Amino acid sequence: MSTVRDRFWAWGHNAGSHNGLFNLPGPSRMTPVEGAFYLGVPNLIMVAFGGQPAPPFDAQAIVMRPLSRVVWSIIGDSSSSRHNVRTDLEEVVDLAGRFPNVVGGIMDDFFHPPDAAGRFSRRGPEELAGFRTALHHTNYHGGPHPLDLWVVVYTHELDWPVGAHLAQCDVVTLWTWKAKDLPALEANLAKLERLAPRQKRVLGCYMWDFGDNKPMPVDAMRRQCEQGLKWLHEGRIEGMIFLATCISDLEIEAVEWTRGWIAEVGGERLMRGTPPLHRPALDRH
């Protein structure tokens, strides 16, 4: 029977990615793998920030071999403008063929306010269907090694017409950009359940209030973590992500509280019947 820790993920960016940004208290030198081990979690979401890392990814993937599962960005954050032209889908599929702990590809900052043409996403549902097919058909040493298609959605985007996009994804990660909006987390998860009833849902937990460029209050950190743990046991979500590795060595109070909380609850056994994170959610073609 799996434990709560098995469902915990660290959100990783290259070391120093946030240096000088978001009013953080200092520069960070922590790498993604160091951040995962510092937080005490076995899984990593590796995401391009400002276009980095860029392919080839092998050197970083080698260091990640001790991790249980890795999800790699095929579309990075909004400042990764190279992904507005092309994705890293082919590179991630190739990586998974040689590194069996690579289990998915994620699209970060995928939705945006409508532009002049009315577009509000970085790719349309038809392209996402193609991404999903490519990921599901990945092979490892000649055998099937299907990958999941993950996407980021912020709570303030849940009222947008995103349903057709989410329907093409396997895993939807839910994020509350501003700490002051966390009291609405229960209502927002219910919205997501209605929007994406067949998809696996994972709760994203910021350890810094990036939306307002200030520390995440420990009480707010505690509430979102305890709520997420309850949902995990109930099967309403299938994992939790802690963001980000590139702030985890700054002695931020919410980070240190989270690290202690993970150590305290990580060994809890999941309730019998809690669905596994990588069960097939959609037809694998």
Residue 149 CB: number of other CB atoms within 10 A?
Answer: 27
The single-letter code of the amino acid at 123 is R
What is the distance between the alpha carbons of residues 86 and 109, in angstroms, rounded to a whole number? Answer: 15
What is the distance between the alpha carbons of residues 227 and 263, in angstroms, rounded to a whole number? Answer: 17
Contact at 8 Å (CB) between 267 and 5? yes
User: Could you give the angle at which helices 218-234 and 185-195 cross, rounded to 10 degrees?
Assistant: 40
> What is the arithmetic mean of pLDDT over 148-176?
98
| Token pair for 258 | 């989270």
What is the distance between the alpha carbons of residues 255 and 249, in angstroms, rounded to a whole number? Answer: 9
| Token pair for 145 | 């090694």
pLDDT at residue 155, as a whole number: 98
pLDDT tens per residue across span 21-36? 999 999 999 999 999 9
Per-residue pLDDT band for 39 (boundaries 50, 70, 90) equals very high
Q: How far is CA 210 from the centre of its chain?
A: 16
> What is the arithmetic mean of pLDDT over 81-102?
96
Residue 271 has pLDDT above 90, yes or no: no
pLDDT at residue 273, as a whole number: 52
Residue among 92, 76, 189 nearest 148 (CA): 92
- Looking at the domain assignment, is residue 48 inside a domain? yes
Residue 66 has pLDDT above 80, yes or no: yes
Evaluate the omega torsion of the peptide bond into residue 276 and state whether it is cis, within 30 degrees of 0: no
Residue among 75, 70, 141, 59 nearest 104 (CA): 70
- Looking at the domain assignment, is residue 280 inside a domain? no
Per-residue pLDDT band for 145 (boundaries 50, 70, 90) equals confident
What is the distance between the alpha carbons of residues 148 and 155, in angstroms, rounded to a whole number? Answer: 22
Strand 171-175 and strand 200-206: pairing? parallel
Residue 143 has pLDDT above 90, yes or no: no
pLDDT at residue 275, as a whole number: 54
The single-letter code of the amino acid at 258 is T
Residue among 36, 8, 74, 11 nearest 237 (CA): 8
Compute the mean pLDDT over every residue in the chain, rounded to the nearest whole number. 94
Number of domains in the chain: 1
What is the distance between the alpha carbons of residues 134 and 130, in angstroms, rounded to a whole number? Answer: 6
DSSP assignment of 109-131: S-B-S--TT---BSS-HHHHHHH
pLDDT at residue 154, as a whole number: 98
Q: What is the DSSP letter of 53?
A: S
- The C-alpha R_g of the chain, in whole angstroms, comes to 18
Contact at 8 Å (CB) between 46 and 76? no
- Looking at the domain assignment, is residue 166 inside a domain? yes
The domain containing residue 203 runs over which residues?
Answer: 4-265
- Looking at the domain assignment, is residue 279 inside a domain? no
- Looking at the domain assignment, is residue 90 inside a domain? yes
- Looking at the domain assignment, is residue 272 inside a domain? no
Classify 278 as helix, strand or coil: coil
The single-letter code of the amino acid at 99 is F
- Looking at the domain assignment, is residue 189 inside a domain? yes
What is the distance between the alpha carbons of residues 188 and 228, in angstroms, rounded to a whole number? Answer: 13
Residue among 87, 63, 69 nearest 10 (CA): 69
CATH number of the domain that residue 259 is part of:
3.20.20.80
- Looking at the domain assignment, is residue 75 inside a domain? yes
Evaluate the omega torsion of the peptide bond into residue 42 and state whether it is cis, within 30 degrees of 0: no
CA–CA distances in Å: residue 127 to residues 86, 110, 117, 132 = 12, 13, 18, 9
Residue 157 has pLDDT above 60, yes or no: yes
Residue 283 has pLDDT above 80, yes or no: no
Per-residue pLDDT band for 64 (boundaries 50, 70, 90) equals very high
